[in-house]
A and B are shown apart, each in its own frame.
Chain A
Amino acid sequence: MLVHTALDRAEQVARHWVAGGCPVVIHVDRKVPRAIHDAFAARFADLPDVCFSPRHACEWGTWGIVAASQAAAEMMLARFPTVRHVYLSSGSCMPLRPVAELRRYLDARPTTDFIESATTADVPWTVGGLSEERFTLRFPFSWKRHRKLFDRYVDLQRKVGFRRRIPPGIVPHMGSQWWCLTRRTLSAILQDPDRKVYDRYFRKVWIPDESYFQTLSRLYAQSIESRSLTLSKFDFQGKPHIFYDDHLQLLRRSDCFVARKIWPQADLLYKTFLGDDAAAMKGTEPNPGKIDRIFAKAVERRTRGRPGLYMQSRFPRDNWENGVTSSPYSVFEGFTELFEDFEPWLARITGARVHGHLFAPHQVEFEGRQSTFNGALSDNALLRDYNGRAFLTNLIWNTRGERQCFQFGPGDSQFISWDIARDANAQISVISGAWAIPLFQSNRNFADLRTEAAMLQKIESEHLSALRSPWAKGRIRIWTLAEFVESPMEALQQVLDEVGIQEQRRLSEVPRMVDLTGFGQFLQNLKNQGMHPYLMGDFPVDPAPDNAQKPARKPYLVR
């Protein structure tokens, strides 16, 4: 048992092992002051089955831990000749099942070595980029204390092309440092005539406690079970996860023999698992599956986060968002201008939340024109424009599970123009030039109309260039007004297919298009005034009689 802090807990665990009939050799880190060590050792005076091995300084990632394990293992094999399996544990390990159960388990497998051991090429465990290089470079500097020197020296060796020679006969393996080896294997490792060679080599290997026994046991073991009997989970930086009182049920259901690390103040865990009434589990195989899943999820939460969430501890740089928003939504540009009752129709047919112009200049047009919306978003336009992107991402995040649709156009504030363009969740359908329809219908001075048309055209053309840029990731469809009016049903059907309405029926009901009689002439008038509207495509200057033949367009079915 390797111990460096929380000596009270270590004592408790050691006594538990001894009570279960297992002799214990304790190694106390040399960094623990002598006085404390002696007092600690004295507390075991009543237990002949506990002894203390020569002390080594154990710094993470260095040889000290292996030296300590070797010394302790030698002492164990020498002092207790009846011992068949040696289990390496630490002061923060805790047996979850009665010791007798572990003994039974090992008795049934007298020649099996439990040690996680895999070749470097085959496992993605390593954190920090050093896997094979652990064995081929030198590591004289402490990673914890002299990180810069450590990194520099690694870089230098890479540049120079330095490689250490791996001693003949061994193939580097890695795995959890917590093993359980048979006397046979362990003594073979410790008494190997070449041990000096191996020790000298591993002394300069990076994190040798995860590779020394793992490699050498491959030379001698009769049958290796490549797994650790100790449940030990690591986070994305290779630091061990800690178990607290609230993990009690999780640990109970894991059926593992030993777990680490346990938080020293986790009184409930210690009371439950080291108490006399430690209920025997079903005597089954360890089953850490559930714990594995929970911890894997936590690592994912820490490294990838929840897409589309911007909060105090997740604020990705541009393009690192892993999804600008959290879920798909639809943006319609020019549809409300072309169709008279587009919003209610869309809501009816898709069942989605259909907003008006969310980015309208004076007020946010939420569905039903509410003054607040999910997450207490306000309809105040100033508040929205203070951080347009936050408004959009908040809206989509707050309505997770419901599809949002909203209208957009050149009359709206344009802060999110680029954000929706580069958002893969955005489905953007544009009828370009449709902004001219309200102008055409309005009864304002032509000079004003001309100015406004020029401005809107400029804004929309900028927006379109964002949508057409190579950075645009949304699902974007752009029709000119002329194209759209040519075959509106087909276009609508396409859009709705992407929104993903459940029913496969073809459109049975279509919105009513506004009367465009005279629109071509209106555009021509603009041209005549020197303002060339081009975004709506080639709209015919409709000769009046031709238009008269088909007056109000009636809704019809497309089959």
Chain B
Amino acid sequence: MIAGLAARIGLDRVRRRGAAGAAAAGRVWAAARLAYWLRWKRRRLLLRAIRKRRQLRAVTDRTAGIAPEAILAFATLRNEVARLPFFLAHYRALGVAHFLIVDNGSDDGTLALLCDQPDVSVWSTQASYKLSRFGMDWLTWLHWRHGHGHWCLTVDADEILVYPHWETRPLSALTGWLDGEGLQSFGALMLDMYPQGPLDAAPYQPGSDPVASLPWFDAGNYMIQRHPVYDNLWIQGGVRARLFFADNPRRAPTLNKVPLVRWNRRFAYVSSTHQILPRRLNRVYDTLGGERMSGVLLHSKFLHMIANKSREELARRQHFENSDLYTPYHEALMQSPDLWCPHSTKYEGWQQLEDIGLMSKGNWV
């Protein structure tokens, strides 16, 4: 039995290598310790989310009507009445059956708009966004409560998911294919879209495609490293790194996400949807030279409302771990700067993103 245990944790191999194996043994133990620590971290996150459920007040709860294989969308949002019509229309067209949304103290009619939708369940809270791990505690609770066994899409109101063939194949085709491949998670790069000229030059019309207002993006300035703990790829770059974080690139926003997961109530997102536990769900990339399938979240942060939102954010200080460091960033945005440069690329569709290499079809023909 002892031999069996040794074999399981890799000790037998270490022993065989003899003296040279001492370092390897150290690594094995370090890996085991890390795995143990992460397991407890995941449990802590879950417990925390279960405790925080009391902060949520159900406004409209239509979750009883969720069918067994339904694809669910989860979001925390605040004052998104302009973006919501297109957001809901886009994901409905992709085949999201039900939206589970936490409204964090909106005062612009967002709540009323959400309550009118037949396929939306809404919870409301006035509690701190930051103290709820940027809304993740609330969503983790909803995942735990309603997501188990479903494919769950977790996005922000300003993120529009596109993936290979999305115009002709709904999400159920994608999730069916992922199931067939034995995959439980699907990665997407957050791509910051921006207009040409000052950000407030062309007001956005609610319901229209935000990408039509923000057709430009940075095509090839992304920096990738592997996260040593969570095993995800840590991707930074794009327009925000280029313009606002060039002097401190480490602080540049993280762009990798795992928005679509076949949920199990043991899962928990760690920071936004950038990282998730258990770690295997973060491995949405190939390390042997091949390409896995992946998508892109078109990020419509830079619509004309951004100046006001930044002003509000500077007062609320709810958005970043270390808010002071991001003050210059918000102050810059309040001036409605021009993010465009002569080497910006104009969005043409998913085939273009695939061709540029921002996402990949993998072997999904």
Chain A residues with CB under 8 Å of chain B are 235-237, 239, 241-242, 244-247, 263, 265, 294-295, 298-299, 301-306, 309-317, 320-322, 370-378, 380, 382-383, 386-387, 390-391, 394, 397-398
CB of B291 within 8 A of CB of A376, answer: no
Give the residue name and chain of the A residue nearest to B284 (CB).
A313
Count A/B pairs, Cβ under 8 Å. Answer: 180
Stretch at the interface among B79-87, B111-119, B175-183, B306-314: B175-183
Tell me if B96 is interfacial: C-beta within 8 Å of chain A. Answer: no
Per-position binary interface string of chain B over residues 203-235, scored 1 when its CB falls under 8 Å from any chain A CB and 0 otherwise: 000000000000000111111111000000101
Q: How far is the CB of A376 from chain B (nearest CB, A)?
A: 4
A131 to B285, CA, bound (A): 29
Report whether A312 and B342 are in contact in the complex, using a CB–CB cutoff of 8 Å: no
- 6 closest pairs, A vs B, by CB? A375-B220, A302-B363, A313-B294, A386-B249, A376-B218, A398-B220
B181 to chain A: closest residue by CB:
A239
Q: What's the minimum C-beta distance from A496 to chain B, rounded to whole angstroms?
A: 28
Are B359 and A320 in touch, CB under 8 angstroms?
no
Which residues does chain B contribute within 8 Å of A235, judged by CB atoms? Answer: 363
Q: Which of B169, B170, B285 contacts A313 (CB 8 A)?
A: B285
Among A301, A314, A373, the most chain B Cβ lie within 10 Å of the Cβ of A314
- Residues of B near A373 (CB, < 8 A) are 343
Q: Would A376 and B285 be within 8 Å (CB), given that A306-B291, A311-B357, A386-B223 are in contact?
A: no
CA distance A378 to B252 in the complex (A): 14
The answer to whether A376 touches B344 (Cβ under 8 A) is yes
Chain B residues packing against A (C-beta within 8 Å): 165, 168-170, 172-173, 176-177, 180-181, 187-189, 218-226, 233, 235, 237, 239, 241-242, 245-250, 256, 284-294, 341-345, 357-365
Chain A contacts of B342 at CB under 8 A? 370, 372
Q: How far is the CB of B238 from the nearest CB of chain A, in Å?
A: 8
A390 to chain B, nearest CB (A): 4
Known: A304-B290, A382-B246. 9 other contacts (CB 8 A): A294-B365, A305-B360, A311-B224, A311-B357, A315-B286, A372-B242, A383-B241, A390-B222, A398-B219
A309 touches B357 (CB 8 A): yes
CB distance from A394 to the nearest CB of B (A): 5
Say whether, besides A372-B343, A376-B242, A382-B247, A314 and B291 are in contact (CB < 8 Å).
Answer: yes
Distance in angstroms from B327 CB to nearest chain A CB is 19
- Tell me the complex Cα distance, A239–B289, Å: 20
Q: Which residue of A lies closest to B365 (CB)?
A: A298
Q: CA A306 – CA B235 in complex, angstroms?
A: 19
Distance between Cα atoms of A375 and B343 in the complex (Å): 6
- Contact A317:B288 (CB < 8 A) given known A312-B188, A382-B246: yes
A237 neighbours in B (Cβ, 8 Å)? 181
* Cβ contact within 8 Å between A387 and B223: yes
In the complex the two chains form, is A320's CB within 8 Å of B287's CB?
A: yes
Q: A311 is contacted by which of B226, B242, B358, B361 (Cβ under 8 Å)?
A: B358
> In the complex, are the beta carbons of B181 and A241 less than 8 A apart?
no
**CA of A398 to CA of B343, assembled, Å:** 11
Report chain B residues within 8 Å CB of A305: 286, 289-291, 360
Q: Is the CB of B343 within 8 A of A302?
A: no
Are A397 and B289 neighbours in the complex by a CB distance under 8 Å? no
Q: What are 19 A-B interface contacts by the 8 Å CB criterion?
A: A241-B365, A242-B180, A265-B170, A294-B365, A298-B365, A301-B291, A303-B288, A303-B290, A311-B359, A313-B293, A313-B359, A315-B286, A321-B289, A372-B342, A373-B343, A376-B219, A378-B246, A382-B247, A383-B245
Known contacts: A242-B180, A322-B289, A376-B218. The answer to whether A313 contacts B249 by CB under 8 A is no
Q: Which one of A314, A315, A390, A398 contacts B226 once the chains associate, using CB atoms below 8 Å?
A: A315
Is the CB–CB distance between B247 and A312 below 8 Å?
no
Measured in the bound complex, the distance between the Cα atoms of B286 and A236 in whole Å is 14
> Is B289 a contact partner of A377 (Cβ separation < 8 A)?
no
- Which residues does chain A contribute within 8 Å of B172, judged by CB atoms? 265
**In the complex the two chains form, what is the Cα distance from A371 to B224 in whole Å?**
22
- B343 in contact with A312 (CB, 8 Å): no
A316 & B189 in contact (Cβ 8 Å cutoff): no
On whether the beta carbons of B290 and A302 are closer than 8 Å, the reply is yes
| C-alpha gap A372/B288 in the complex (Å) | 32
Contact A394 B343 (CB under 8 A): no
Of the residues B165, B226, B245, B343, contact of A246 by C-beta under 8 Å: B165
Contact assessment for A314 and B285 in the assembled complex, using a CB-CB cutoff below 8 Å: yes
Residues of the A chain whose Cβ atoms lie less than 8 Å from the Cβ of B189 = 311-312
What A residues does B287 contact at CB under 8 A? Answer: 315-317, 320
Distance between B245 CB and nearest chain A CB, rounded to angstroms: 8
Q: Roughly how many angstroms separate A374 CA and B344 CA in the complex, as a whole number?
A: 8
Chain B proximity of A361: nearest CB distance (Å) = 15
Q: How far is the CB of B16 from chain A (nearest CB, A)?
A: 16
Residue of B nearest to A315 (CB): B285
On chain B, the residues within 8 Å of A303 by CB distance are: 288-290
> A378 and B242: CB pair below 8 A?
yes
If A298-B363, A372-B343 touch, whether A304 touches B289 (CB-CB below 8 Å) is: yes
- A455 CB to closest chain B CB (Å) equals 26
Q: How far is the CB of B220 from chain A (nearest CB, A)?
A: 2
Residue of B nearest to A385 (CB): B249
* Complex Cα spacing A457 to B199, Å: 49
Docked-complex contact A312 and B365, CB < 8 angstroms: no
Determine the chain A residues whose CB is within 8 A of the CB of B345 once the complex forms.
375-376
Complex: A549 Cα to B180 Cα, angstroms: 81
Instruction: Judge whether A382 and B249 touch: CB under 8 Å.
Output: yes
Which residues of chain B have C-beta atoms less than 8 A from A314's C-beta? Answer: 285-286, 289-292, 360
Once bound together, how far apart are the Cα atoms of A374 and B357, in whole Å?
14
B220 touches A377 (CB 8 A): yes
The distance from the CB of A311 to the nearest CB of chain B, in whole angstroms, is 5
